[in-house]
Amino acid sequence: MQHVSLRIPVFTTEMRSVGSTLFRSVTGGTLLRQGSGAVVEALRDICLSVRHGERIALIGHNGAGKSTFLRLISGIYTPSSGRMTVNTFIYPMINKSFITSPDLSGMQAVKAHYLMQNGNLRRFPEFLKDVVEFSGLGDYIHLPIKGYSQGMIARLLFAVLTGITHDCLALDEGIGAGDQRFVEAAQKRLDAFIDQAGTLFLASHVDVLLRRFCQRGLVFDNGQIVWDGPLDESLDYYHRKLKS
């Protein structure tokens, strides 16, 4: 990434009552007036190189830009300026819901996800079997998702997202794993899932989790990377300089 910035337009009639510039943190950046509207400068002047196999922690307070950065590198957002080159597919494990219709059955949703990720249905029966067994849904997999409890949806989603090995993974710790009985099994599966990834970007507020999986740290503040270095040094910088 060479001097990459991301600006997100804001469309609302309420902007007419806002002054020329509003200096406050908004989704990792600053809200600025632009003409009759506004833009959120979510990421600013990011310069970064990542090599295959690196395990990188994204560190910062809520709204510092971590989740926006994950969405940018995984292709959900595109840069507003600067240059970004990605040489592998970065899998975003950051969504907390299916992007398919809730009217689909669980099996249909799993099949749609598998097709979007792989472009074919080779080995889908094995994948589906693993998802059903791990989620514990049984025959409920054939019923519409809109009838599932939140716990059932969370277990199914977690099983689907962690069911395929990825060369590069963008992971937001905030993604849920379901009810308490499911947590221990989910943690073991997540550990194996992360270990199999070639390259990892992990956003978290938990130092123990970051130390468990990462060696390098990027500290975000107000949409900028203010520190890039070994993980222990990055965490020390964050706790000394930024954490209130």
DSSP secondary structure letter of residue 108: H
Q: What is the reported pLDDT for 25?
A: 40
CATH number of the domain to which 13 belongs = 3.40.50
Domain count, the chain: 1
Higher pLDDT pick, 199 / 25 = 199
Residue 174: pLDDT band (50, 70, 90) is low
pLDDT for residue 24 is more than 60 = no
- Residues whose CB is less than 8 angstroms from the CB of residue 130 and which lie 6 or more positions away in sequence, other chains included: 159, 163
CB half-sphere exposure, 70, CA atoms < 13 A: 26
Question: Residues of the chain with pLDDT > 90: what percent?
Answer: 50
Q: What is the pTM of this model?
A: 0.80
Q: How far is CA 225 from the centre of its chain?
A: 17
Domain of 216, in residue numbers:
2-89+204-242
Q: Report the C-alpha gap between 148 and 144 in whole angstroms.
A: 7
Please give the pLDDT value at position 200: 92
| CA-CA-CA-CA dihedral for 213, 207, 152, 125, to nearest 10 | -10
**215 in any annotated domain:** yes
> Is residue 134 domain-resident?
no
Does a structural domain hold residue 184?
no
Most confident of 17-21, 27-31, 93-97, 225-229: 225-229
Within-domain flag for 65: yes
Q: Would 125 be classed as within a structural domain?
A: no
What's the pLDDT at 20? Answer: 42
Residue 191 inside a domain? The answer is no
Identify the band that residue 242 occupies on the pLDDT scale cut at 50, 70 and 90.
Answer: confident
pLDDT value of residue 102? 83
| Residue 162 is assigned to a structural domain of this protein | no
Cα–Cα nearest to 212, from 179, 178, 173 = 173
Asked whether residue 104 is assigned to any structural domain, the reply reads no
Q: Among the residues of 53-206, which ranges form H helices?
A: 66-73, 106-118, 124-135, 150-161, 180-196
User: Worst-scoring range by mean pLDDT, 51-65, 182-196, 217-231?
Assistant: 182-196
Q: What does the pLDDT look like over 86-143, one tens digit per residue?
A: 999 898 887 666 667 888 999 999 999 899 888 899 999 999 999 999 999 999 999 9
